Amino acid sequence: MAFIAKMNSMPTLDASVRSKNFKEVALGYSANVAIEEAKRCLNCKNKPCVTGCPANIDIPGFISHVKNNDFDKAFEVISQSSCLPAVCGRVCPQESQCESKCTMGVKFEPVGIGRLERFVADYHNSKDSDNEQKAKQVQPNGIKIAIIGSGPSGLSCAGDLVREGFEVSIYEALHLPGGVLSYGIPEFRLPKRIIRKEVDALISQGVKLKTNVVIGKTLDIDDLFEMGYKAIYVSTGAGLPKFMNIPGESLKGVYSANEFLTRVNLMKAYKEGSFTPISTGEKTVVVGGGNVAIDAARCAIRLGSKVTVVYRRTEKELPARLEEIEHAKEEGIEFMFLTNPIEIKSDENGFVDSIVCRQMKLSEPDESGRARPVEVAGSEFEIKTHSVIMALGTSPNPLIRKTTKGIKFNMHGGIVVDDNGKTSREGIYAGGDAVTGSATVISALGAGKRVAKAIMESLTK
Amino acid sequence: MKILIEYFDCQKVSGLRGRRMYRIVAKEELNSSVTKIVVEAPLVARKAEPGQFIILRVDDDGERIPLTIADYDREKGTVTIIFQIVGATTNILNQKQVGESIKDFVGPLGKEAETNGYKNVCIVGGGVGCAIALPIAKKFHELGAKVTSIVGFRSKDIVILEEDFKKCSDKLFVLTDDGTYGTKGNVTAPLKDCLDQGEKFDLVITIGPLIMMKFVVLTCKPYGVPVTVSMNPIMIDGTGMCGGCRLTLLQDGERVTKFACVDGPDFNGYEIDFDEAMSRGRMYQEQDRHANTGSCNLFSADKDNKSER
Ligand SMILES: Cc1cc2nc3c(=O)[nH]c(=O)nc-3n(C[C@H](O)[C@H](O)[C@H](O)COP(=O)(O)OP(=O)(O)OC[C@H]3O[C@@H](n4cnc5c(N)ncnc54)[C@H](O)[C@@H]3O)c2cc1C
Ligand SMILES: Cc1cc2nc3c(=O)[nH]c(=O)nc-3n(C[C@H](O)[C@H](O)[C@H](O)COP(=O)(O)OP(=O)(O)OC[C@H]3O[C@@H](n4cnc5c(N)ncnc54)[C@H](O)[C@@H]3O)c2cc1C
Ligand code: SF4
Ligand code: SF4
Ligand code: FES
């Protein structure tokens, strides 16, 4: 059998067009291309790809249905392990997860697992009426579970529990559900209608969604127990932005990536008629190299700014998804590697005028295994800019920590849990970014599922 | 408490549409640009304390704006807010009538004002800041502290809440900038008089325009009186997630970043970098400074983008 060495390419909107709007960039496979791509899978007996998927999706299983033109069956297989395939197919860093383990990838390019997953999910979602029917009636067991935070981790836990008959309520601090999927990841990478659809499906299955409730303020965890919840899942994410603590970080025109992305996504500053002001000026510098930095950069270019991403290591160490980095470059975003900001300077009105950086070089690896950047003495230089977006990562929000007794936290503010997601306090579980610090959608989803299982085992025996 | 929780629990929360709303049960115009409304929000009322605030969104696609909890009734499950009409959102809010609803209303946010252990306090409010100061003054009064209130307004026609302050103050000074009502002058004048006459305040709390608070701090400094200031930077989420509300405090010579929404809104007046805060507060007023031509193209390109609906 002759192998097709290359993965079928993903059709995308033209870079010169898309860099001026917020439409989805990757357009998705057609059915024919999906079947072609599925045929590249060798259906390996030992399923190495599955070990690379934090949700353990039966990858060869669903792909073989795609091969046979049975997309509904394919969706069923994926659904057994993941409730957000349309999301994960789009945003998983596949090159370091499932696809990194694919046998095809040893000699050729790996199978486009993420692209196929997205295709199957989109196919399913395009058939509207089906969603309702899928919600098969389960016998309610009357056991109340509270979930704090409606990010991917909370949603997946809720989905698994409601399907077993639990009475599930999700409490969300913001006015919209979805967590980072709603306020962080931009429209052109993950259209909001997808999240809305997933959430609507959960609600039609009986999950109660309570927005505008900040746990630790509006209600606290003890209130929830008093209200009759038998278990509580804390999936509050890692939303606290970090700053560099360099001079000038409070100038006008300096944003945390969270503020910038929240204004653009959650508050829809990009839409005509929006009340939310956002202004980048002609030139924007983004500091950082993760998904967050690339998303902020790509939003800024869409708002009409010239954008430079400043990163202190080299291109090889960029933690963002490969595809996003490529897309960003195509859209005209400039990268400056081995560059570290030391000061932001202002004009006479307190607005950003320039950012002073120092050249870096790489030395021995640090404890994370990545080469440690060190400053090159006397290498300062200035970049003129109107805005600076700080995308340096986030840590878990301290609100629950400050208002809940009996839960242990680690030195980074993450909640300490055992393998089942149990915290040090009876009845309270935790998972997702709130435990690990900023990670991935699929690992947050996987944690939600593990906790759902643990809760079922402890409460239905 | 049980009843409130059940009330909340049986709300129909079906998805993103048709969601529970927050009904306006009373409305009163305090002056031509300041309105008071009472909103049904039992969960907020249940936990609200003086000094805390809420964030609301009037309609879909609206902005999130913070407003202080001016009063609350735990029994009735209502929260009172008093707002000055300054821009788009406060204008739309002011158009809502009794019986109509507000889309989102979340709180209570921020830390409550520290009121325990004080015996002789002075409250200095300016303009709509007086609305924010009132619940704190009331709380001190209830706790048996001696309360001196100094409230200042630009002009006679915008004097608000005078009766309410009278009820909870041992001494009340009302001032206007133009002398059309009360004493003519600045709030710092009676404050300085009190201090000069040997009044031993164990705390001065000031709420109002940044420039006023800055001068209250400067007035108190020579007397060594502790000053708490209530900071109102621009906020979005109010839960410590965006960092937009950050302030710089000077603590032991170090510049420390704090988030007003979770670490405040009250701070030690001597630690605040007022000049920076005043500059940041004007961020969006001066927005057109960097005329952003690119965004116009963007908006027209985005018109046919239906994916949001
Ligand atoms: C800009 C950006 C881009 C990213 N891109 C990718 C990507 O391409 N691929 C990928 O795999 N991962 C990506 N990530 C990471 C990924 O989004 C997160 O790892 C994931 O969303 C974590 O899910 P979670 O459910 O744990 O938390 P979150 O998604 O953070 O959700 C937590 C929710 O809890 C709510 N909450 C917090 N505190 C409270 C409280 N006290 N009471 C009530 N509610 C509360 C929050 O409002 C939020 O809605 C990205 C992250 C960002 C910020
Ligand atoms: C903790 C806190 C408590 C507050 N309490 C009260 C109160 O009790 N009564 C009251 O009248 N006002 C209060 N404010 C100020 C109030 O939030 C603003 O007046 C309101 O957001 C203006 O919105 P707008 O759309 O009508 O005006 P815009 O046209 O958007 O803005 C007018 C001006 O209001 C300020 N402003 C705008 N958005 C915000 C924001 N999100 N946060 C803070 N300031 C903003 C800016 O200085 C701006 O120049 C409080 C602010 C904070 C942070
Ligand atoms: S969920 Fe992510 S890691 Fe798992 S198969 Fe899909 S794309 Fe790969
Ligand atoms: S490793 Fe690759 S080729 Fe093998 S089953 Fe998985 S996807 Fe197919
Ligand atoms: S308002 Fe966003 S961190 Fe305070």
Asked if residue A287 lies in contact with residue A389, where contact means CB atoms within 8 angstroms, the answer is yes
Closest chain A residue to the Cα of B244, Cα to Cα: A259
Outline where A254-361 has alpha helix (H).
257-261, 291-302, 322-330
Q: Which of A173, A200, A271 sits opposite B302 (nearest CB)?
A: A271
Q: Which runs of E-coded beta strand occur in A205-290?
A: 208-210, 231-234, 240-241, 254-256, 283-287
pLDDT in tens, A100-139: 999 999 888 999 999 999 999 999 988 865 555 455 667 8
Q: What's the gap in Å between A129 CA and the centre of ligand 1?
A: 29
Q: Which residue minimizes the CA distance to atom 3 of ligand 3?
A: A53
Range(s) of the domain holding residue B164 = 120-281
Tokens of A96: 């370091």
Rounded to whole angstroms, the Cα distance separating B301 from B242 reads: 28
Question: What is the Å distance from ligand 3's center to A114 Cα?
Answer: 6
The answer to the question of residue B135 being in a domain is yes
- The DSSP element (H or E) to which A155 belongs, if any, is helix A152-162
Q: Does A24 touch chain B (CB under 8 A)?
A: yes
Domain count, chain B: 2
Selection from B118, B115, B146 nearest residue B52 by Cα: B115
For residue B83 and ligand 2, the question of a CB distance below 6 A is answered with yes
Taking contacts as CB-CB distances below 8 angstroms, the residues of chain A near B105 are 212
Residue B177 confidence (pLDDT) above 90: no
Residue A419 burial class via C-beta count within 10 angstroms: exposed 0-12, middle 13-18, buried 19 and up: exposed
- Measured distance CA(A7)–CA(A110) in Å, rounded: 7
pLDDT tens-digit readout, A358-373 = 999 988 887 777 778 8
Q: Given a cut of 50, is residue B4 above it in pLDDT?
A: no
| Gap from B176 CA to chain A (nearest CA, Å) | 31
Do residues B141 and B206 both lie within one domain? yes
Which of B63, B241, B262, B274 is most worth mutating to test chain A (most A CB atoms within 10 A of its CB)? B241
Do A256 and B280 make contact, defined as CB atoms within 8 angstroms? no
Spacing, Cα A50 to ligand 4 middle (Å): 8
The whole-angstrom distance between A451's CA and the closest CA on chain B is 24
Residue of B213, B95, B79, B194 whose CA lies nearest to B148: B194
- Per-residue buried b or exposed e for A124-155, using 16+ beta carbons within 10 Å of the residue's own CB: bbeeeeebeeeeeeeeeeebbbbbbbbbbbbb
The closest-lying atom of ligand 5 relative to the alpha carbon of residue A241 is 3
Q: Which residue of B has its CA nearest to A202?
A: B15
Per-residue pLDDT band at B283 (split at 50, 70, 90): low
Report the nearest-CA residue for atom 6 of ligand 2: B67
Residue B201 placed within a domain: yes
Q: Is B297 in contact with A176 (Cβ distance < 8 A)?
A: no
From chain B, the residues in CB contact with A175 under 8 A are 57, 64, 103-104, 106
| pLDDT recorded at residue B304 | 33
Is B296 within a domain?
no
Nearest residue, CB atoms, B305 vs list A22, A243, A282: A22
Q: How far is the CA of A259 from the centre of ligand 5 (A)?
A: 8
- Residue B69 with chain A: CB contacts under 8 Å: none
pLDDT computed for residue A349 by the predictor: 82
Among protein residues, the one with the nearest Cα to ligand 1's atom 48 is A179
Write out the two tokens for A18: 């898309």
Question: Which of A196, A245, A275 is the closest to B63 by Cβ?
Answer: A275
**Closest residue (by CA) to atom 4 of ligand 1?**
A291
* Four-way CATH pick for A15-126: 3.90.1150.10, 3.40.50.10490, 1.10.1060.10, 2.60.40.2310: 1.10.1060.10
Q: For B109, which of A214, A270, A272 is closest by C-beta distance?
A: A214
Percent of chain A with pLDDT over 90: 61
**Domain final residue, candidates B109, B140, B167:** B109
Distance from CA of B296 to the nearest CA of A (A): 9
Nearest CA to ligand 5 atom 2: B242
Q: Are residues B20 and B99 in the same domain?
A: yes
Co-location of B154 and B242 in the same domain:
yes
Q: A142-151, B53-62, B77-86, B151-160: which range is least confident on average?
A: B151-160
Domain boundaries, chain A: 15-126, 138-239+395-459, 243-392
Q: Contact at 8 Å (CB) between B139 and B50?
A: yes
- CATH number at B80 reads 2.40.30.10
CB-count exposure of residue B253 (10 Å: 0-12, 13-18, 19+): exposed
Burial label for A2, CB within 10 Å (0-12, 13-18, 19+), is exposed
- Mean pLDDT across chain A, nearest whole number? 89
- Whether residue B297 has pLDDT greater than 70: no
User: Which atom in ligand 2 lies closest to the alpha carbon of residue B261?
Assistant: 1
CB-closest option in A255, A256, A303 to B295: A303
The atom number, within ligand 3, closest to the CA of A59 reads 5
Closest CA to A29 of A121, A119, A123, A95: A119
The reply to whether ligand 2 has any atom less than 6 angstroms from the CB of B86 is yes
Structure tokens at A136: 């098969």
Chain A residues lying within 8 Å of B302, measured CB to CB: 21-22, 270-272
Residue B301 has pLDDT above 50, yes or no: no
| Chain A residues inside the 8 Å CB shell of B19 | 211
Query: Sign of torsion, CA B198 B202 B208 B214?
Result: positive
A150 lies within 8 A of chain B by CB: no
Let me know the angle formed at the C-alpha of A216 by A213 and A221, rounded to the nearest 5 degrees. Answer: 95
User: B-chain residues within 8 Å CB-CB of A263?
Assistant: 236
Say yes or no: B165 and B235 in one domain.
yes
**pLDDT at residue A215, rounded to an integer:** 95
Residue B259 and residue B131 share a domain: yes
Q: B309 pLDDT exceeds 50?
A: no
Nearest-atom index, ligand 3, CA of A97:
3
Contact A239 B239 (CB under 8 A): yes
Q: Do A263 and B236 touch (CB under 8 A)?
A: yes
Q: Is A351 on the interface with B (CB under 8 A)?
A: yes
CATH of domain A243-392: 3.50.50.60
Give pLDDT < 70 ranges for chain A: 1-3, 128-137, 268-279, 461
CA distance A182 to chain B (A): 12
Beta-carbon pairs below 8 A across chains A and B: 186
Ligand 4 atom closest to Cα of A110?
2
> Of all protein residues, whose CA lies closest to atom 43 belonging to ligand 2?
B234
Is the distance from CB of B145 to CB of B119 less than 8 angstroms? yes
Q: For residue range A191-240, what is the model confidence (pLDDT) as tens digits?
A: 988 988 888 888 888 899 999 999 999 999 999 999 999 999 999 999 88
Q: What is the pTM of this model?
A: 0.88
* SS3 assignment, position A364: strand
Rounded to whole angstroms, the Cα distance separating B297 from B202 reads 58
Cα distance between residue B7 and residue A311, in whole Å: 51
Is residue B163 one of the residues assigned to a domain? Answer: yes
B167-182 average pLDDT score: 87
Residues B164 and B189 grouped into a single domain: yes
* Residue B114 falls inside a structural domain: no
- Choose the closest CB to A258 out of B15, B242, B299: B242
Phi, psi of B59 (to 5 degrees): -135, 170
What residue of B is the nearest CA neighbor of A306? B294
Q: What is the pLDDT of residues B87-104, one digit of tens each?
A: 889 999 999 999 999 999
Does B242 reside within a domain?
Answer: yes
Judge if B17 and B138 occupy the same domain: no
Tokens, residue A240: 């606290």
Are the C-beta atoms of A389 and A260 separated by less than 8 Å? yes
C-alpha distance from residue A301 to each of A8, A291, A296 (Å): 28, 15, 9
Residue A286 CA to residue A311 CA, distance in Å, equals: 9
Q: What is the pLDDT of residue A276?
A: 57
Domain A138-239+395-459 and domain A243-392, same fold? Reply is yes
Q: Do B158 and B213 fall within a single domain?
A: yes
CATH 3.50.50.60 fits A138-239+395-459, yes or no: yes
- Tell me whether residue B239 is in a domain: yes
Is residue B309 one of the residues assigned to a domain? Answer: no
Confidence at residue A354, expressed as pLDDT on a 0 to 100 scale: 94
- ipTM more than 0.95? no
Q: What is the 3-state secondary structure (H, E, C) of chain B?
A: CHHHHHHHHCCCCCCCCCCCCEEEEEEEEEECCEEEEEEECHHHHHHCCCCCEEEEECCCCCCCEEEEEEEEECCCCEEEEEEECCCHHHHHHHHCCCCCEECEEEEEECCCCCCCCCCEEEEEEECCHHHHHHHHHHHHHHCCCEEEEEEEECCHHHCCCHHHHHHHCCEEEEEECCCCCCEECCCHHHHHHHHHCCCCCCEEEEECCHHHHHHHHHHHHHHCCCEEEECCCCCCCCCCCCCCCEEEEEECCEEEEEEHHHHCCEEEHHHECHHHHHHHHCCCCCHHHCCCHHHHHHHHHHCCCCCCC
Among the candidates B109, B133, B159, a domain finishes at B109
Q: Which residues line ligand 1 (CB under 6 A)?
A: A 91-93, 148-154, 171-174, 179-180, 184-185, 214-216, 235-237, 239, 261, 291-292, 295, 321, 397, 399-400, 432-434, 438-442, 444
A360 touches chain B (CB under 8 A): no
Residue ending a domain, among B61, B84, B109, is B109
- Chain B hits for A281, Cβ within 8 Å: 290, 292
Q: What is the pLDDT of residue A180?
A: 94
